[in-house]
Amino acid sequence: MKKLLILFLGFILMASMTSDMPAYVIYNAKGKSVDFDKLVKEASGADVILFGELHNNPISHWLQLELTRSLYKLKGDKLVLGAEMFEADNALIIKEFLEGKVKDKNFEAEARLWPNYKTDYKPLLTFARDSSLAFIATNIPRRYASLVNREGFEGLDSLDAEAKRFIAPLPIAYDPELPGYKGMLEMMGSSSHANENLPKAQAVKDATMAYFISQNAKAGTTFIHFHGTYHSDNFEGIVWYLKRLNPDLKILTINSSEQENTGTLLEENEGKADFIIVTPSTMTTTH
C-alpha cells in the first residue's frame, strides 16, 4: 500500500511538472539550460553586458530589470546603465531627470521616447534614478541615421561640429561582409527600402552605441546596455565596434529569441550569444 501511495504521488508530481508553462528558459551558447543565478554570476564579472531584447516582449523587459536589480546588489554604484532607446542628444535631459530636476511629465513631453517607454523602459530609468546610477543615452539621433540611409556615411561629413558630438568619431569603420549587415539586405529582398545604405544606417547606430559605451565603461565598473537583439547577435554589431575600440574589454552578450517549444534550444539559435533567453512564440506583447 505504501509503495502504491508513493507511485501515485509520483504520477501526480510528474503530471504537475508537465502541465507547467514556463515563461522563459535560459540557455548557454552550447544549448544547455542554466538558471538565472548562473547568468547573474557570469554577468557580474563582465566589463560590458549587451542585453539584446525583443522590443515588444514583456519577459525581455522584466528580466532586464531583474538582472539590473541583482547586479546592483553585487556592484552597487559600480554599475552603469545605457540603452539604444535614448539618443545621445537627450543626454542632458536624462541627467536632469536622474538628478530629480525634471518631473516625469516634463521629461516625457520633451524627450523623444519610444511608444512603449512607460511600460518597458521607464522602470529601468526610474531604478537608475532611485539608486543614484548613471544612465547613458548611447544611440545616434535618428535624424542622422536617416541621413546615412539616404546618403551613406558621406552624408555625415556635412554636419557641423556640434552635431558630430552625438555620433561616433568619423570616419565610421564598416565591413559590409559581416553576416549581420549582409543579412539585412537579404531580408529586405526586393523591398523599396532595400539599398546599400540600409546596413550602413544600422552600422552607424552600432558604432555610436559602442563609442558611448566605451566612453563610460570605466575600470572596475560593469556597464549593462539594452538594445534590440540584432545589434549584438552572433557577436557582431556593437561587439565588433567595441572590440575595435578596446580589445581587452570582457563582454558578455545576451540574446532574446522566441520558439514554439522552449524545451530545447533550436540549432539556429545556438551560439547567437553567451546566453540565450527563449520565450514561447505565443507570448503576449507590450505593444
pLDDT digits (tens, 9 = 90+) for 105-152: 999 999 999 999 999 999 999 999 999 999 999 999 999 999 999 999
Q: How confident is the model at residue 187 (pLDDT cuts 50, 70, 90)?
A: confident
**Residue 179: pLDDT above 70?**
yes
Q: List the domain boundaries for the chain.
A: 20-280
Q: What is the pLDDT of residue 19?
A: 53
Give domain 20-280's CATH architecture: 3-Layer(aba) Sandwich (3.40)
Q: What is the pLDDT of residues 221-265, one digit of tens each?
A: 999 999 999 999 999 999 999 999 999 999 999 999 999 999 999
How large is the average pLDDT for residues 165-178?
A: 97
Q: What is the pLDDT of residue 15?
A: 42
Q: How confident is the model at residue 195 (pLDDT cuts 50, 70, 90)?
A: confident
**Residue 9: pLDDT above 50?**
no
DSSP the chain: -HHHHHHHHHHHHHHHHHT---S-EEEETTS-EE-HHHHHHHHHT-SEEEEEE-TT-HHHHHHHHHHHHHHHHHHGGGEEEEEEEEEGGGHHHHHHHHTT-S-HHHHHHHS---TTIIIIIHHHHHHHHHTT--EEEEEPPHHHHHHHHHH-GGGGGGS-HHHHTTSPPSSPP--TTSHHHHHHHHHHTT-TT--TTHHHHHHHHHHHHHHHHHHH--TT-EEEEEEEGGGTGGG-THHHHHHHH-TT--EEEEEEEEES--SS--GGGTTSSSEEEEEETT-----
**Residue 13: pLDDT above 70?**
no
